A and B are shown apart, each in its own frame.
Chain A
Amino acid sequence: MKYEYTVETEDLAKYYTMGPAIVKALDGIDLRVRRGEYLSVMGPSGSGKTTLFNMIGGLDRPTRGRVYIDEVDIAKLDAYELAWLRCRKIGYIFQTFNLIPVLTAIENVMLPMIFAGVPREERIKKATELLQRVGLGDRLYHKPGELSGGQQQRVAIARALANDPAIILADEPTANLDMKTGLEIIGVMRELNQEKGVTVITATHDLKMIDVSDRIVYLRDGKVERIETRREIAIETEEI
């Protein structure tokens, strides 16, 4: 255990100006995410989930406040360091899968490893292993257009894990999937979270996520409304 907290935010805020109005997408978020934790961020659309995802992922700059990844303030990183952070420390999973359409499944998984400078043989070996792990051992050379939504999301999970990141950030990973496939994807993410000890942060309004999350953060209007740990939820359910 190198650092206790993988992600920390301090008074994190992001304002957008839309004409004369200022939209407070995030307004003072203080959050600490422990290493290996499975955290779900819940809230209605427009509550700031995706903005939080972008801030923690180093994809956008906050208006105010700080984000620390493994105790490093990412506002202090330059473009090169930020690219390295995205490549090596963070794995992204999106609602729309976002695979590179011209590349096969295995090539998609190898792409982050190319950026990281992993030798070719090792890339192939690791990408194959990861795809087998998510249950796509027989789909290595299919292009995204030849795969179902659930299969594409599995490729995306394998790709997110390619460089052994510290954090997996998933933005509504099950929103474009049916109930059953969504459950399978959640299952895979939880298993890998426990197997590899990778911290998982998902923005979601999928209630199926509650069962697997260690903690749930409820956002409303850019603020943390409340935080529940799994024990509390279990008690609540008993009471009902």
Chain B
Amino acid sequence: MSAAPSLEIGKITLPFGEAFRIAMEDIRRRFIRMMITAASVILAVGFMDALLVLTAVGSAMGGQAASLKPFQLWILFISLLVCVVGIMNSMLIAVAERTREIGTWKCLGALDRHVLLLFLIEAMLIGLVGGIAGWFIGIITGLIYSFQPNVGIAGVTEALTSPSVIALPGLSFLPSIVSMLLLSLLIAISLSMIGTLYPAYRAAKLNPAEALRYEV
């Protein structure tokens, strides 16, 4: 075995479009579980938006400052943290359940980053759904709670369209309701990604032989 010839190594690819399609199929197959995972995002983001609506309406009525109080921020932070833990928990289960499938992927030529990509696309989609639904539910809840006879339709409309309450950096011209949507999406997708990163990394790093041997 002298002067061993070297292999002509070609490229290994997984185009984003294909990965996206496969991630969609995975979500469709585990739809109910995915919706439960999304529910934790919906609750966290909904809570945030409800608080923001309450503050916006309050400030439009001239009653209070146009920002969240420290204790509200603290509760909000805790609720977002709980959401990340919930996502991480269900993604760890999803990874454990699919360990042998990941082993198969690797046998067919998948790189670590392809496995990571698949899980992160799923996380992004869960975040997207959770962010939009959370925003919608949060606003409705916020409006129900802030309803008072002296706050007319005009007051509520003003609170939600004026850019005063949540001014995103560089986007302060946007009406509050739109800033809230952007903020909700940003937070929902980040939470979902952060919660998925560790389980997905563990999945990607698996040795294929061990992954194939794994029994659920």
Contacts and interface: CB of A to CB of B under 8 A. Distances in A.
A239 to B, nearest CB: 39
Interface stretch (B1-9, B34-42, B175-183, B189-197): B1-9
A57 interface: yes
A116 B9 contact: no
Contacts of B155: none
Interface in B101-154: 101, 103-112, 114
Contacts of A60: 207-210
Nearest to A70: B7
B169 interface: no
A42 to B, nearest CB: 21
Contacts of B105: 100
A88 B109 contact: yes
Given A72-B4, A98-B104, A102-B26, A83 B110 contact: yes
Contact of B14 (A8, A77, A114): A114
Contacts of B5: 70-72
Interface residues of A, number: 39
| Interface SS of chain A | mixed
A80 B209 CA distance: 17
A117 B12 CA distance: 7
Given A68-B4, A80-B9, A117-B11, A87 B26 contact: no
B177 to A, nearest CB: 37
A41 B3 CA distance: 30
Interface of B: 1, 4-7, 9-15, 18, 22, 25-26, 28-29, 100-101, 103-112, 114, 207-210, 212-213
Given A99-B104, A115-B12, 13 more contacts: A59-B209, A68-B1, A70-B5, A70-B7, A71-B1, A72-B5, A83-B12, A86-B109, A96-B100, A98-B100, A98-B212, A100-B101, A101-B101
